[in-house]
Amino acid sequence: MKATTHKTEMAMGAARGTVVIPAHNAARTLGVCLDALRAQGVPSSDFSLIVVDDASSDGTAAVASRSDVVVLAGPGTGPAAARNVGARAATGEVLVFLDADTVPEQGWLRELVAPLAEPEVVAVKGRYRSAQRSVLARFAQLEFEWKYARLERAERVDFVDTGTAAYRRNAFLGAGGFDEGFRASEDVDLAFRLAAAGAKIVFNPRAVVLHRHTEDLPGYFGKKVRAAYTRTLVYRRYPRKALGDSYTPPLMGLQIALTGATTVALPLALARFPLARTALCTALTGFVLSVLPMVRRSITSDPTLAPLVPALAFLRAFAQGIGAAGAFAQGMLQRRGDAA
């Protein structure tokens, strides 16, 4: 314990860096985030604070405009470009990214940068928690916990998302930063790029932020469609990752396939096509079996949510299937256009 504490103190004592928050129409949540940072000494002589107002129309810049916060204008083309704007203006050895809809818990920054005391560590991923009690938010947190458990078992971490993350600034800039061609999943693309170059990435579950998960059904569905679309684009560059990475359970891909099979088999079964009913029952049975790990986790952590997990997982997988199909269609159209 003493050795760990010493390393943490070394990391905080030696580290100099910048916290970057991209913010688009974040006036409602940004103030609480900045207050939580101030409570743990950010900005300070060690860590400066940059908010990139990415073409907001709701007063985000006014909320960010505090005497000790640097406010920059983003191009309004998405979080990848906004984060790159902040990264280029940042100073120090460590580059920390935080989303505007998070509230860092006490000790978050100390824990996030602590693994960087080891010279070979290039990037660190933190953890989400949620205090929300809506069904969708609780399901989203359950899914995060399922993935965090996979990260904690991983021999080698190859995944960082930027809701709460730290990088060595020279490694981040040396890798070219975020690919601004992505409107989402640009952080996954960078993590795969760093991992492919041999970089060591660490997950620290003690670097915790409270995150506000999407609570309305259309918003949740749309978010999953968009995420699956951009993740599929990333998988074109790293096809082996489609089979699973240190964060994403392979069962999620199976669930998307089984949901697609169910969607195709259902109208055929209703039309009494031969073997369609057997195919439908097989797909549904396989899907329910694939969801059992999440159901068991929910029984332990959130028992009243457990009966709803299969239906919510089906909804999520259906949305992801739409997003993935859209990416495949876009790829086919692009190849056809290139051939012409």
pLDDT < 70 regions, the chain:
1-15, 340
Per-domain residue ranges of the chain: 2-215, 250-339
CA-nearest of 64, 76, 65, 69 to 48 is 69
* Residue 254 region by backbone torsions, left for phi larger than 0, else alpha for psi between -120 and 50, else beta: alpha
pLDDT of residue 333: 85
Residue at 223: amino acid letter: K
Count Cβ atoms below 10 Å from residue 119 Cβ, excluding itself.
8
Q: Do residues 90 and 18 touch, judged by C-beta distance below 8 A?
A: yes
Residue at 55: amino acid letter: A
pLDDT of residue 12: 43
The strand pair at 200-211 and 121-129 is best described as parallel
DSSP code per residue over 282-326:
HHHHHHHHHHHHHHHHHHHH-GGGGGGHHHHHHHHHHHHHHHHHH
Using one digit for the tens of pLDDT, what is the confidence trace for 199-250? 999 999 999 999 999 999 999 999 999 999 999 999 999 999 998 899 999 9
Q: What is the pTM of this model?
A: 0.91
CATH architecture of 2-215: Alpha-Beta Complex (3.90)
CA distance 245 to 185: 14
Quickly tell me which residue has 């660490």 as its tokens: 202
With residues binned 3-state (H G I as helix, E B as strand, rest as coil), the percentages for the chain, rounded to 5, are 60, 15, 25
Quickly tell me which residue has 């195709």 as its tokens: 264
Element of type H or E holding 166: strand 164-168
CA distance 264 to 234: 26
Residue at 48: amino acid letter: S
